[in-house]
Amino acid sequence: MINGSIINIEGLNLHIGNKHILKDINVKIPEKKLTVILGPSGCGKTTLLKSLNRLTDLYPEVKTQGKIFNGGIDILNPKIEITELRKKMGLLAQSPYPLPMSIYDNITYGLRISGRRKKRYLSKRVEYYLRQVSLWEEVKDRLKDPASALSIGQQQRLCLARGLSVDPDIILADEPTSALDPVSSREIEELFLKLKQRYTIVMVTHILRQARRVADYVIFMYLGEIVEHGTAEQIFENPQNQITKAYIKGTYS
């Protein structure tokens, strides 16, 4: 059922100061599927997600060892040009952080940075990506307004559109619905179900029901380790590990 993998993590260890945060992570992330990273709070889900496009560089106290392959290139190799590689992975944070500019400029930012300047092209792209996240009808008359004027749910969809604008292969999403109301959460979920036809999605969540609704593949983490990973069916119907079992049944505390 799971065919090719797009990201291979091999022997990833991550320390912050002298705390061992990620412990010997080995896992393959399947292509064009929605992979959910599950696990209790503080187990390292966000850290793992940020390692995938080396945003951990922003934290000088973080030390990583191991390899993360994407298309044959080791992302963690300090010699590679990470800027271009990051574009292959769109990021969606826990709560929306629109860039301090207009709705329109939020979408065109990534394009302008990679040298696209033609106005007609940019306008078309803006419409296209806003339609992708079902935001176009709501904002088409106020594209020049500051993005911060949107509602939180709209902002999160804008951030998703912004991530899509640089045409990534992978979407990394860290609890993308945790700051949203139920309706907006549902909208994001449905978008993900639609987008996973064309993108590989890695999503962190600790909402079990959400994971059941969207996941194809599940990685279960506990205290910095991957305890178990497999297809959604395997993990939800027939977990092997005791901790996973407890967590899935909801008896974990």
Partner 1 sequence: MRSFSILNFKVRRTLRENLSAFWMKCCYLLILAMPFILLIGLLLKSSLLFGEHSLMELIFSSEWKPLSGKFGFFPFIISSLWVTFISIAIAAPVCLLTAIYLTQYAKRFVLKIMQPVIDILAGIPSVIYGVWGIIIIVPFVSKVAGWFNVSSSGYSILTGAIVLAVMIIPFVLNILIEVYKTIPIELSEASLSLGATKWETIKKVLTRKAYPGIISSFGLGVSRAFGETIAVLMVVGNVVQIPSGIFQAGYPLPALIANNYGEMLSIPLYDSALMFAALILFVVVTFFNMGSRYIIMHYEKKI
Ligand X SMILES: Nc1ncnc2c1ncn2[C@@H]1O[C@H](COP(=O)(O)OP(=O)(O)OP(=O)(O)O)[C@@H](O)[C@H]1O
Give the binding site for ligand X (CB under 6 A): 16, 21, 39, 41-47, 59, 206
Strand, coil or helix: 172: strand
Nearer to partner 1, 92 or 218 (CB): 92
* Closest CA relative to residue 8, chosen from 61, 65, 73: 73
Partner whose binding site includes residue 176, from partner 1, ligand X, Mg ion, none (CB under 5 to 8 Å by kind): none
Number of residues that bind partner 1 (CB under 8 A): 30
Least CB distance to ligand X at residue 107 (A): 28
CA–CA separation, 194 vs 131, rounded Å? Answer: 13
Lay out the sheet containing 217-222: strands in order across: 89-92, 170-174, 200-204, 34-38, 217-222, 225-231
Confirm if 244 and 234 have CB atoms less than 8 A apart. no
Chosen from Mg ion, partner 1, ligand X, none, partner binding at 42 (C-beta under 5 to 8 Å by type): ligand X
Q: How far is the CB of 176 from partner 1 (least distance, A)?
A: 13
| Interacting residues with partner 1 between 19 and 78 (CB under 8 A) | 50, 53, 55, 58, 60-61
Smallest distance from partner 1 to CB 172, Å:
8
Using CB under 8 A, pick the residue from 4, 18, 72, 84 that binds partner 1. Answer: 84
Closest among 197, 177, 179, 199 to 188, alpha carbons compared: 177
Q: Is 89 in the site for partner 1 (CB under 8 A)?
A: yes
CB contact at 8 A, 17 and 30: no
